[in-house]
Amino acid sequence: MKTFRRIAIGVVAAAAIQFVPISRTNPPVETEIAAPDSVQAILTRSCYDCHSNKTVWPWYSHVAPVAWLVASDVSGARKKMNFTTWNAYSAHQQAQKIKEIWTQVEPGDMPPWYYLLEHKNARMSDNDKAVIRDWSQATPE
Protein backbone atom coordinates (compact mmCIF):
# COMPACT_ATOMS: atom_id res chain seq x y z
CA MET A 1 0.00 0.00 0.00
CA LYS A 2 2.86 2.39 0.77
CA THR A 3 4.33 1.82 -2.68
CA PHE A 4 1.00 2.58 -4.37
CA ARG A 5 0.65 5.76 -2.31
CA ARG A 6 4.16 6.94 -3.23
CA ILE A 7 3.50 6.28 -6.91
CA ALA A 8 0.17 8.13 -6.73
CA ILE A 9 1.80 11.12 -5.03
CA GLY A 10 4.55 11.12 -7.67
CA VAL A 11 2.02 11.05 -10.52
CA VAL A 12 -0.02 13.86 -8.98
CA ALA A 13 3.12 15.96 -8.39
CA ALA A 14 4.33 15.36 -11.97
CA ALA A 15 0.93 16.42 -13.29
CA ALA A 16 0.74 19.47 -11.00
CA ILE A 17 4.10 20.90 -12.07
CA GLN A 18 2.84 21.03 -15.65
CA PHE A 19 0.65 23.96 -14.61
CA VAL A 20 3.52 26.15 -13.41
CA PRO A 21 3.54 29.06 -15.89
CA ILE A 22 6.64 29.54 -18.00
CA SER A 23 7.49 32.09 -20.64
CA ARG A 24 8.23 30.69 -24.09
CA THR A 25 8.01 33.83 -26.14
CA ASN A 26 9.72 35.17 -29.20
CA PRO A 27 9.86 38.96 -28.91
CA PRO A 28 9.89 40.95 -32.14
CA VAL A 29 13.03 40.84 -34.26
CA GLU A 30 14.67 44.27 -34.28
CA THR A 31 17.79 44.03 -36.45
CA GLU A 32 19.61 40.83 -37.31
CA ILE A 33 23.35 40.47 -37.39
CA ALA A 34 24.82 41.35 -40.77
CA ALA A 35 26.98 38.40 -41.69
CA PRO A 36 27.98 36.75 -44.96
CA ASP A 37 25.48 34.14 -46.16
CA SER A 38 27.81 31.26 -45.27
CA VAL A 39 28.17 32.54 -41.70
CA GLN A 40 24.48 33.39 -41.38
CA ALA A 41 23.53 29.84 -42.37
CA ILE A 42 25.74 28.39 -39.62
CA LEU A 43 24.50 30.86 -36.99
CA THR A 44 20.88 30.19 -37.92
CA ARG A 45 21.33 26.41 -37.78
CA SER A 46 23.55 26.20 -34.69
CA CYS A 47 22.90 29.29 -32.57
CA TYR A 48 19.56 30.96 -33.26
CA ASP A 49 17.40 28.64 -31.14
CA CYS A 50 18.95 30.16 -28.02
CA HIS A 51 20.62 33.38 -29.15
CA SER A 52 17.76 35.01 -31.04
CA ASN A 53 14.11 35.94 -30.90
CA LYS A 54 13.44 33.23 -33.50
CA THR A 55 13.56 30.32 -31.08
CA VAL A 56 11.90 27.12 -32.26
CA TRP A 57 10.43 25.73 -29.06
CA PRO A 58 10.66 21.90 -29.28
CA TRP A 59 8.06 19.57 -27.81
CA TYR A 60 10.09 18.94 -24.66
CA SER A 61 10.12 22.68 -23.89
CA HIS A 62 6.47 22.20 -22.94
CA VAL A 63 7.06 19.44 -20.37
CA ALA A 64 8.13 20.44 -16.86
CA PRO A 65 10.70 20.29 -15.36
CA VAL A 66 12.71 20.22 -18.62
CA ALA A 67 10.70 23.22 -19.83
CA TRP A 68 12.10 25.29 -16.97
CA LEU A 69 15.67 24.45 -17.96
CA VAL A 70 15.08 25.21 -21.64
CA ALA A 71 13.40 28.54 -20.89
CA SER A 72 16.19 29.48 -18.49
CA ASP A 73 18.88 28.58 -21.03
CA VAL A 74 17.20 30.61 -23.78
CA SER A 75 16.67 33.60 -21.50
CA GLY A 76 20.30 33.55 -20.38
CA ALA A 77 21.60 33.10 -23.92
CA ARG A 78 19.52 35.99 -25.23
CA LYS A 79 20.88 38.23 -22.47
CA LYS A 80 24.45 37.27 -23.31
CA MET A 81 24.10 37.68 -27.09
CA ASN A 82 21.02 38.11 -29.24
CA PHE A 83 21.45 37.98 -33.01
CA THR A 84 18.01 39.56 -33.56
CA THR A 85 18.57 42.62 -31.39
CA TRP A 86 21.99 43.30 -32.87
CA ASN A 87 21.23 47.03 -33.15
CA ALA A 88 21.21 47.24 -29.32
CA TYR A 89 24.99 46.78 -29.29
CA SER A 90 27.50 49.50 -30.13
CA ALA A 91 29.89 48.86 -33.02
CA HIS A 92 32.60 48.00 -30.50
CA GLN A 93 30.31 45.58 -28.65
CA GLN A 94 29.32 43.94 -31.93
CA ALA A 95 32.97 43.39 -32.83
CA GLN A 96 33.70 41.98 -29.37
CA LYS A 97 30.72 39.63 -29.57
CA ILE A 98 31.83 38.37 -32.98
CA LYS A 99 35.28 37.64 -31.52
CA GLU A 100 33.62 35.95 -28.54
CA ILE A 101 31.70 33.63 -30.86
CA TRP A 102 34.95 32.05 -32.00
CA THR A 103 36.28 31.75 -28.43
CA GLN A 104 33.16 29.69 -27.62
CA VAL A 105 33.04 27.66 -30.85
CA GLU A 106 36.73 26.72 -31.07
CA PRO A 107 36.91 24.63 -27.86
CA GLY A 108 33.45 23.17 -28.51
CA ASP A 109 31.66 25.07 -25.74
CA MET A 110 29.04 26.24 -28.24
CA PRO A 111 26.68 24.82 -29.14
CA PRO A 112 26.54 22.97 -25.82
CA TRP A 113 26.74 19.18 -25.86
CA TYR A 114 23.31 18.75 -24.27
CA TYR A 115 21.70 20.84 -27.04
CA LEU A 116 23.37 18.67 -29.66
CA LEU A 117 21.76 15.53 -28.22
CA GLU A 118 18.39 16.55 -29.71
CA HIS A 119 19.67 18.85 -32.47
CA LYS A 120 22.19 16.89 -34.51
CA ASN A 121 21.98 19.38 -37.38
CA ALA A 122 23.36 22.11 -35.08
CA ARG A 123 26.69 20.29 -34.81
CA MET A 124 29.46 22.30 -36.45
CA SER A 125 31.73 20.56 -38.93
CA ASP A 126 35.40 21.46 -39.22
CA ASN A 127 34.46 23.50 -42.29
CA ASP A 128 31.75 25.35 -40.34
CA LYS A 129 34.27 26.16 -37.63
CA ALA A 130 36.76 27.41 -40.22
CA VAL A 131 34.11 29.72 -41.68
CA ILE A 132 33.32 31.11 -38.21
CA ARG A 133 37.02 31.46 -37.38
CA ASP A 134 37.84 33.31 -40.60
CA TRP A 135 34.87 35.64 -40.18
CA SER A 136 35.71 36.34 -36.56
CA GLN A 137 39.37 37.02 -37.31
CA ALA A 138 38.47 39.30 -40.23
CA THR A 139 36.26 41.45 -37.99
CA PRO A 140 38.04 44.69 -37.07
CA GLU A 141 38.19 45.49 -33.36
pLDDT of residue 109: 95
pLDDT of residue 17: 65
Segment 111-140 mean pLDDT:
95
What is the pTM assigned to this prediction? Answer: 0.86
pLDDT of residue 101: 97
- The amino acid present at 54, given as its one-letter code, is K
> Helix, strand, or coil here: 85?
strand
Segment 110-115 mean pLDDT:
94
